Amino acid sequence: MTKTTKPNTVAQPEERLLTEEEIRAMSDEDYMNPAQLAFFKNRLQELEKELLKNAGETTEHLRETVLVPDPADRATIEEEHALELRTRDRERKLLKKVQQSLASIESGEYGWCEETGEPIGIPRLIARPTATLSLEAQQRRELKQKLYGD
């Protein structure tokens, strides 16, 4: 199967979403059909909502400043804030990837390796819906980074 054989439509919202098991059981000829695209679009939208909710909660936590006279307690609170900010920074980067993946669904590019044009694969997309490289291409990239520090 090549990239040129994929359909460009997404299933209609009134259709029932498939389960992971149903998607895994589909044949290779069904790769990135409208039902699969609808499944991944829904999964990415749910992830996006969760990330945005977490960002809002962090803002609220940081606004709740508690003045404590004990320097050790103050240091603990500051460390918790720093940890939460690092976590949100990682989530901010993930949110960008989620939004790029949603855009690639709309453009008909989702599920296809950016390097090779081959299918990324359903199991990999279920595990990591924001994947843009096939497993083999990702392994090559990681090996090159390890060897050349690129």
Write down all domains in the chain, each with its CATH number in brackets: 20-148 (1.20.120.910)
Mean pLDDT of 12-31: 82
Contact 51, 95 (CB under 8 A): yes
Return the top range by mean pLDDT from 17-26, 58-67, 77-86, 95-104: 95-104
| Cα distance between residue 150 and residue 77, in whole Å | 37
- Over residues 50-89, the pLDDT tens digits come to 999 988 888 777 777 777 888 898 888 889 889 988 998 9
| Cα distance between residue 2 and residue 17, in whole Å | 25
| Cα distance between residue 147 and residue 79, in whole Å | 36
3-state helix, strand, coil in the chain (%, to 5): 65, 0, 35
| Cα distance between residue 100 and residue 72, in whole Å | 42
Element (H, E) at 58: helix 34-63
Instruction: Count CB-CB contacts under 10 A for residue 1.
Output: 12
The confidence score (pLDDT) of residue 7 equals: 47
> Among 53, 130, 139, which Cα is nearest to 97's?
130
